[in-house]
Amino acid sequence: MLKIITTVTLALALTACANTDALDANVASLTNKVNALSAQVADLEAQQKTATAAAEQAASDAKAANERIDNVVASYKK
């Protein structure tokens, strides 16, 4: 019985070792995909910050333009 358990264990160990290269290739592939996705996320975050800053600047410019228009209209009423 001990001989059978040893033989099965040895066979499983050899099978597991044979798949190490395929596992390493899969891990490397997944690592590359994660790195690519991380780069895309970083790029999108940068684009979002740029867009947010542009939107804030546009809102500020619009507010200033509206104030100038209000001042021009107020001067005609006087």
pLDDT tens digit at each of 78 positions of the chain: 878 888 878 777 766 665 677 778 888 999 999 999 999 999 999 999 999 999 999 999 999 999 998 888 777 765
Give me the pLDDT at residue 17, please: 60
Angle at 58 between CA 57 and CA 59, to 5 degrees: 90
Give me the pLDDT at residue 21, please: 77
Residue type, position 9, single letter: T
> Within 10 Å of residue 1's Cβ, how many Cβ atoms?
5
- Closest C-alpha among 8, 15, 10 to residue 23: 15
Altogether, the residues listed in the chain come to a count of 78
Instruction: Provide the 8-state DSSP code for 78.
Output: -
Give me the pLDDT at residue 13, please: 72
